Every structure is written in C-alpha cells, then in structure tokens.
Amino acid sequence: MKRKQHDTELKDATAFLQRIKFNAYTERLACAKTENPFIPISGMENDFDAATATISRVNFILGELDKRIRIKRKAVRIFGKLPEALLFTVFTFGFMLLVWLGVSFIGLYFDVKPVVTISSLLFVAVVAEMISRFKARKRRK
C-alpha cells in the first residue's frame, strides 16, 4: 500500500513540476521578442531571467527525481532476483552435501581408500558447478 502511495506521490510531484516548468516557459516566451525568443524585451529582463532561473531549477529537481527513480528500479531489478538465487544456491549445496554423504557412506561400507573418495567428490563438485553455470547462462538468455 505504501509503495503505491509513494509511486503516486512521485508521479504527482513530477506532474506538478512539469506544470511549473510549462508556466515558466510560457512566461519567458511572453517576455521575449517575437523574432528571437531567447532575447528579452527591453524592460522585461528581470521577468525573463526569473523565468529562466525557474526553468533551470525545475530541470535540476526533475533530474534528481529521475536519478532516484532509476536507482530504485535498479535496486528492484537486482534484489528482486535475490530470493530465487538464494533458493538455487541452497538446493545446489544441499544436493552436493547429499552426494558427499552418499559417496562417503559407500567409501566406508566398501572400505575404499580416501583418495578415491576425495577424487569422486571432486568430480561431483565439478559436474555440479558445470550444471549451475549452464543453468545460469540459460536463464540470462
């Protein structure tokens, strides 16, 4: 609820600033010469400069709002995938733990040397890493 309210407040603030900017442009145009809108009419320089200053201030504020909105979107994009990545990591480590326990049990049961057990675990770890990288590459596409 708060997020939607915050988003609507941001949109309202942006619309309000756009209206102020439009009014400042209109005022500046009213104070400018018709043949060159960037030169003020003599005697109306103060109004022209005030309108120009208002436009630059509003542009600065709109730029800062836009930066914050972009940062927020980037954070949502990055942290939105975090639960999925954590779940995938937990399942991967759980799978590797189960395989390690199984290989260790088989090694103890059949009285296999530790070198064989360690090398088989290394092989399983390499295969699991290859599978996880393949899935990650497939998800990016």
Q: Are 125 and 131 in contact (CB under 8 A)?
A: no
Summarize pLDDT for 36-67 with one digit per residue, the tens. Answer: 888 899 899 999 999 999 999 999 999 998 88
In angstroms, the CA 34 to CA 57 distance is: 25
Summarize pLDDT for 19-37 with one digit per residue, the tens. Answer: 999 999 999 999 999 888 8
Q: How far is CA 20 from CA 14, 47, 48, 110, in A?
A: 10, 15, 15, 82
Summarize pLDDT for 67-84 with one digit per residue, the tens. Answer: 888 888 887 777 777 777
Check residue 1 and report its DSSP letter. Answer: -
